[in-house]
Amino acid sequence: MKKLLVLPAALLLSSAMAAPKISAQSIIVNPVQPDLSVSVWTDKNPDGTQIPNYKIDEKITLNVRSSQDAYVYLFNVDGTGKVDQLLPNRYANGANFVKANVVKTFPAAGDQFTFDIAGPVGLNKVLVLASKTELNLGDLSKFSSQQDSFADVNAKGQQQLAQALSIVVSPIPQNSWVSDTAFYNVASQQQSQTGNVFVGTNVSGAVVYLNGQRLGDANQTFSAIRPGSYPLKITAPGYRDYSATITVRANATTNVNVEFNTVVTPAPPVSNTAAVNIRSSVNGALIFVDGRQVGTIQNGGLDLNLPRGGHEIVLIAPGYNTFVNNYNVSQGGTITITPKR
């Protein structure tokens, strides 16, 4: 039996109680130093130093190792946001308890299934979660029937997966679980002359701009980009923009993970009006602004809020010549008028 992997990745979110941290690179991170460690890697990248390429229809093997006896859970997310639970499953070798420092190969030699790479092309991310105690995934995934070999996952996309896993690990001691991620790139023969860019962030609502053009929301892979160097900008509401220059290579994925943590305090709005005090010794004089009566001089003055810009101000009082002048109001201040008899 075959199970197709379709796995572009993005970012994940965390939830309450000082539990998992949101990370664009690692998906879900324990905020404390746990007592165990776990690693996940692909058959083409045993040392984790690069992002290997796999072609569509090529087979892939995933490997997991824990530093202590642990229960391990393996997930992947595809480019459409569909989440697959790879481990545990109901095949032989599909149990998820592993002994300390023993490599679990998935699938292992002799298993009755394989993982065959399917589209879409782009960067893929695999998540392993290890726990010293067995976790209850009942609210996250279920086997629909006794015949199903793989569980159906309720979460849609990596953000929902991270939120759900945050709830799953919340009842256990914080230092008793840990996670790791592995990356690989899916490439097709038809796209050998173009490259891909994956942009992951730790916040929602981020938008990606490449070479001045809006590509779309972050936490996805952008495909069919011509090789070359491009200015990259990522914006997120409430955070400072991220800017960099990236290089896109043919038949490869450029991986950009941005941790937004600098919150921008919005500048106070600039008022479109200015406070103006019109001073005159002629109490009772009528004041007109732009042909409209706005008040009279009382106790030597009249306070007004005027829109910034040019205004015609007129003072009329019995026994005095009509006073007319134009003023440019750019900020608050005093205008003194001394009419003539």
Q: How many CA atoms lie within 13 A of 286 on its CB side?
A: 10
End-to-end CA distance of the chain: 105
Decide if 191-266 and 273-336 have a common fold.
Answer: yes
> How large is the average pLDDT for residues 336-341?
90
φ, ψ at 162 (rounded to 5°): -65, -40
CB atoms within 10 A of CB 171: 9
For 214-253, write each residue's pLDDT tens digit. 999 998 889 889 899 999 999 999 899 999 999 998 888 8
If DSSP codes are grouped into helix, strand and coil, which group holds residue 19?
Answer: coil
| CATH fourth-level superfamily of 273-336 | Carboxypeptidase-like, regulatory domain (2.60.40.1120)
Query: In whole numbers, what is the pLDDT of the chain averaged over residues?
Result: 85
The CATH code belonging to domain 191-266 is 2.60.40.10
If DSSP codes are grouped into helix, strand and coil, which group holds residue 3?
Answer: strand
Phi-psi region of 17 (alpha: psi -120 to 50; beta: other; left: phi over 0): left
DSSP, res 168: H
CB 154 within 8 A of CB 141: yes
Residue 28, burial from CB neighbour count under 10 angstroms (0-12, 13-18, 19+): buried
pLDDT higher than threshold 50 for residue 3: no
Domain ranges within the chain, ordered by starting residue: 2-187, 191-266, 273-336
What pTM does this model have?
0.61
Residue type, 308: R
In whole angstroms, give the CA distance from residue 214 to residue 223: 14
